[in-house]
Amino acid sequence: MKKLSIILFLVFSLLTIVLSLFIGPEFISPFKMTETEKMILFSIRMPRVVIAVLMGFALGASGAVLQGFLRNPLADPYILGISSGASLFAVFSIVLGSASLLGYFSLPVFAFVGAVATGLLVGVVGYKGGVVWPERLLLAGIGIGFLTSALLMLVITVSPDSELRRSILWIFGDLSLNDWTLIPYGAVLIVLGFALIVTRLKALNALILGDDVAYSLGFNIMKDRVMLFIGVSLMVASAVSLGGVVGFIGLLVPHIVRFIGGSDARYLVPLSAVAGSVMLVVADTLGRTIVSPVELPAGIVTAIIGGPYFLYLLRKRTLFGV
Amino acid sequence: MKLLRLLFLITFFIFTSQDAWAGKYKRIISLSPSTTEIVYALGLSDDLVGVTDFCDWPPEAKDKASVGGIINPSLEAIVSLKPDIVLLSLDGQSPELLKRLGDMNVRIYTFKAKRLKGFGGEIVKLAEELGVKEEGAKLRDRINGELEGFENFKKYEGKNVIYIVWPEPLLVAGSGTSINDALKLLGLDNLASDAIGEYPRFSVEELIRRNPDVIFIGNHSMTLAPGEKLLKKLHTLDAVKSGNVFFIGDALHRLGPRTTSGVQELIDSLEGKNNK
């Protein structure tokens, strides 16, 4: 039964993603397309759908891992300060106008470097006595997040209005102008990060129960934690570099999946990844369709449709036997 | 006693006559590029003591003391210039700033023009407030005369155009803007006039589907990289293929003495007299 519902869910997800390609300000029929429609489909809709799939996948999986890893239901992919580090560097790249140096790649490369550097810093602060401690890591992430956010505000405050505006729009996330250029790099890094995580999902299950339990079950706590942390950092850094900071998915999608499918990490993490993809794709499709020709940013739509659904599930489900 | 009275009368006359001769206020601060240009055009530049970082026309305006940006000017800088009056436009008015200035008994005047039609009248109102109503009326008559002249220009009537004000994400001039008014004046059809909002965030694929004959891009906002990113997306459009993509300066955006030269810039672009 469980296997069947998982297969159904995957088929439904795939169909939704494929269908979304044809929905937009105008419906495009896959059977007869004009030249213009072909061009819209392949060079505008497809890249943004693929980026939404990648970002949603990375954020959903990272959120599910971090909530277990940090043993905190409030954890989301941005709690470790990685996103504010990425934003800080991205805004640096906008303000410095280093566009000429790396051209098109300047902003995403800066964002990625910022994210990885912040992740490393958090990891180093959270590491002590041969172990990465969840509590230490969480607090290090929050502390460094505040620091990078403050630096970000500082840069924004002293930068001219036009750059300020571009910076803010980037931070809020925009999928509408993406093309294929960044997709291969993003895809490779996200798949790599996910592969690192997938091999440690059993360990994650044990870690949720406590370090002593995991240890007595024969897991190498230190090594597993470091791998999970590197995997998450890679995925979040890539996602932020692709399309800015899209909230909600990393925090609430894992909870929704947990309500429905249980909290076994071996299912929870991959299913959260797929659900994250579907959610972001649907949100982006609605965003470009409902008030066309005007567009709404995907992050806003995600929170508006996902929030009430989450609250509905929260009321319906029994938690802690109540 | 009589002498004192006479002295009083003399000083009174000196002051009032001076008022009629020059502006009413000796220390004006302009918090928008638009009002700065108008103050210069009214011949009151000597009384202008403060401007924003964005007041770049006429070029001399850049030499005036700056009080910061349009959205976030420094209250301290404004107050320390001891203004008799502070001029604002409808853009970038923060209620907090208005309240703080009001608390400090600084006189505020808002230039309310937003559309092409009737903005000459708003210039006269501003000029009246500044004590130079006649200069204002002259400026209005010049502007209205030039605008009427454009009405006869129907060579490109019915062409579909889009006016991009920001490339990433794509923001365009919708209906309800002075830019839309200018396009209509020349008989051009703004493809974004059905979108909600003044400067709506426009769908790129809709832009491609609607396939404009001409694309105008406000070059005040163009940083090189994002603009190229957008044009790469649009390379199949007729407007791009036939080279009908024109960068337009900011005269058109600013309702003031140069607005009509902004409209002329649109015409020059269409006539091929403007570089692309």
Per-residue pLDDT tens over the stretch B21-38: 567 899 999 999 999 999
Pairwise CA distance, residues A116 & A230, whole Å: 9
User: Taking CB atoms and an 8 Å limit, are B232 and A291 in contact across chains?
Assistant: no
Q: Which of A166, A168, A174, A285 is best to mutate for the B interface (most B CBs within 10 A)? A: A166
Judge whether B240 and B207 are in contact, CB under 8 Å: no
Which has the closest alpha carbon to A80: A59, A55, A99, A51? Answer: A59
| Beta carbon pairs, A and B, within 8 Å | 93
Half-sphere exposure of A100 toward its Cβ, with a 13 Å CA cutoff? 4
User: Taking CB atoms and an 8 Å limit, are A103 and B202 in contact across chains?
Assistant: no
Nearest CA in chain A to B165: A162
Q: What is the pLDDT of residues A193-241, one digit of tens each?
A: 999 999 999 999 998 888 888 888 888 888 888 899 899 999 999 998 8
Q: What is the pLDDT of residue A108?
A: 84
Mean pLDDT of B131-148: 93
Nearest CA in chain B to A296: B201
Q: Sort out which chain A residues have CB atoms less than 8 A from B69's CB and list them.
A: 160-161
Pairwise CA distance, residues A75 & A63, whole Å: 7
Q: What is the pLDDT of residue B146?
A: 92
Judge whether A281 and A52 are in contact, CB under 8 Å: yes
Pairwise CA distance, residues B132 & B43, whole Å: 9
Q: Sort out which chain A residues have CB atoms less than 8 A from B53's CB and list them.
A: 160
What token pair was written down for B242? Answer: 């036939």
Enumerate chain B positions whose Cβ falls within 8 A of a Cβ in A: 53-54, 69-71, 166, 168-170, 192, 194-197, 200-209, 211, 220-221, 223-226, 229-230, 232-233, 236
Q: For chain A, what is the mean pLDDT?
A: 86
Pairwise CA distance, residues B35 & B39, whole Å: 6
Q: Looking at the complex, report in whole angstroms how far the Cα of residue B244 sits from the nearest Cα belonging to chain A.
A: 19
Q: Which of B203, B222, B231, B241 is best to mutate for the A interface (most A CBs within 10 A)? A: B203
User: Taking CB atoms and an 8 Å limit, are B223 and A99 in contact across chains?
Assistant: yes
Q: What is the pLDDT of residues B90-137, one digit of tens each?
A: 876 777 788 888 888 889 999 998 888 888 999 999 999 999 999 999
User: Taking CB atoms and an 8 Å limit, are A25 and B203 in contact across chains?
Assistant: yes
Pick the CATH number of A2-316 from 3.40.50.280, 3.20.20.70, 3.20.20.140, 1.10.3470.10: 1.10.3470.10
Which has the closest alpha carbon to B204: A40, A37, A297, A26? Answer: A40
Q: CA dihedral defined by A230, A231, A236, A238, rounded to 10 degrees?
A: 100
Q: What is the pLDDT of residue A135?
A: 85
Pairwise CA distance, residues B198 & A301, whole Å: 21
Higher pLDDT, B20 or A2: A2
User: Residue B245: beta bridge partners?
Assistant: B215
Task: Name the pairing type of β-strands A131-132 and A127-128.
Answer: antiparallel
Higher pLDDT, A251 or B168: A251
Nearest CA in chain B to A93: B225
- At B215, which helix (H) or strand (E)? strand B214-218
Residue type, A111: A
Of A153-167, A248-262, B230-244, which range is least confident? A153-167
User: Taking CB atoms and an 8 Å limit, are A44 and B233 in contact across chains?
Assistant: yes
Q: What is the pLDDT of residue B17?
A: 47
Bond before B212 cis per omega within 30 degrees: no
Nearest CA in chain B to A293: B203
Distances (CA, A) of A226 to A210, A230, A238: 16, 6, 18
Q: Which of B171, B202, B204, B230 is best to mutate for the A interface (most A CBs within 10 A)? A: B204
Nearest CA in chain B to A167: B168
Pairwise CA distance, residues B268 & B276, whole Å: 11
User: Taking CB atoms and an 8 Å limit, are B195 and A293 in contact across chains?
Assistant: yes
Provide the H-helix boundaries in chain A: 2-20, 35-40, 46-69, 82-96, 99-102, 106-126, 134-158, 161-172, 183-198, 201-208, 211-216, 221-243, 249-261, 265-289, 298-316
Q: What is the pLDDT of residue A265?
A: 92
What token pair was written down for B178? Answer: 């002075």
